[in-house]
């Protein structure tokens, strides 16, 4: 399918947004890793302070290898920060640590979009593997119903990407509010830095959603137009 020029018509917007997002992340991280936090508080200390202030002392904060590998694991109640965030006393690290803390708060409050996304992860993983084969089998065997099953399976990835948007935007909003509320971020430069770092990261999720929708629309287009053309020829 990737050899089909039409595939890139649907997918290219998401890819371009992804490239833009990555460039903004690099630029803003390079800039705001140079802006220190007050009293030299590190990313790990930011996360621990905010978690404790919200009564989430059962959530563990750990260092994890990798670049931008920061994440919160709701299964083990563990907040994992990359070493560049865990040990770093700068505004970018504080923003990322607070963002992941926002996910821990969502988990504690049973925030619906996060709960829904967590529950469908196994389904999405299975569907993503099966969808192309089911769709191709349906087309080759001239079984439209089977092909539509493949398209529905593709839709699960789009649903996951769309559910990710409110989860990530909400976590960033919580992060900024908590950082200001607890006096970790002060002044216009520091607040602007947090907003730019988290805003750039948010574009990666938008790009993923656009790409997922593009792939899904590509297969729908094939089914509606090319599949229909093949049927009319017969």
At residue 186, the pLDDT reads 87
List the chain domain ranges.
5-233
For strand 71-73 and strand 60-64, is the pairing parallel, antiparallel, or unpaired? unpaired
Q: How far apart are CA 101 and CA 28, in angstroms?
A: 21
At residue 28, the pLDDT reads 94
- Report how many helices (DSSP H) and strands (DSSP E) the chain contains, helices first: 8, 3
* pLDDT mean for each 10 residues of the chain (234 residues): 72 92 94 92 97 96 93 95 96 97 96 92 90 89 90 90 95 95 90 94 93 90 67 42
Nearest of 214, 230, 213, 217 to residue 144 by alpha carbon: 230
Active site includes 3? no
Could you tell me the strand order of the sheet in which 78-82 lies? 60-64, 78-82, 71-73
Task: Tell me the whole-structure pTM to 2 decimals.
Answer: 0.87
- Consecutive H or E run containing 82: strand 78-82
Q: Is residue 14 within 8 Å of residue 210, measured between CB atoms?
A: yes
User: Which residue in the list 45, 100, 115, 189 is annotated as catalytic?
Assistant: 100
At residue 231, the pLDDT reads 46
Q: Is residue 158 within 8 Å of residue 216, measured between CB atoms?
A: yes
Structure tokens, 155: 């839709």
Query: CA 63: distance to chain centroid?
Result: 20
For strand 60-64 and strand 78-82, is the pairing parallel, antiparallel, or unpaired? parallel
């Amino acid at each position: 399918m990737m050899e089909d020029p039409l595939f890139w018509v649907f997918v290219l917007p998401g890819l371009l947004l992804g490239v833009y997002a990555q460039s903004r992340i690099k630029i803003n991280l390079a800039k705001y890793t140079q802006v220190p936090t007050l009293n030299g508080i590190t990313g790990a200390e930011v996360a621990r302070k905010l978690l404790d202030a919200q009564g989430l002392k059962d959530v563990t904060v750990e260092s994890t290898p990798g670049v931008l590998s920061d994440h919160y694991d709701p299964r083990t109640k563990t907040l994992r920060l990359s070493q560049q965030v865990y040990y770093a006393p700068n505004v970018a690290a504080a923003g990322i640590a607070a963002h992941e803390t926002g996910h821990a708060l969502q988990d504690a409050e049973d925030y619906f979009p996060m709960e829904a996304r967590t529950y469908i992860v196994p389904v999405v993983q299975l569907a993503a593997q099966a969808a192309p084969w089911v769709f191709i089998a349906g087309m080759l065997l001239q079984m439209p119903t089977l092909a539509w099953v493949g398209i529905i399976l593709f839709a699960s990835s789009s649903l996951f990407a769309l559910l990710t948007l409110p989860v990530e935007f909400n976590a960033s909003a919580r992060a900024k509010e908590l950082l200001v509320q607890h006096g970790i971020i002060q002044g216009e430069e520091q607040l602007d830095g947090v907003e730019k770092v988290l805003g750039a990261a948010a574009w990666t999720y938008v790009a993923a959603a656009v790409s997922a929708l593009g792939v899904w629309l590509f297969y729908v287009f094939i089914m509606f137009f090319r599949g229909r053309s093949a049927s009319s020829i017969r």
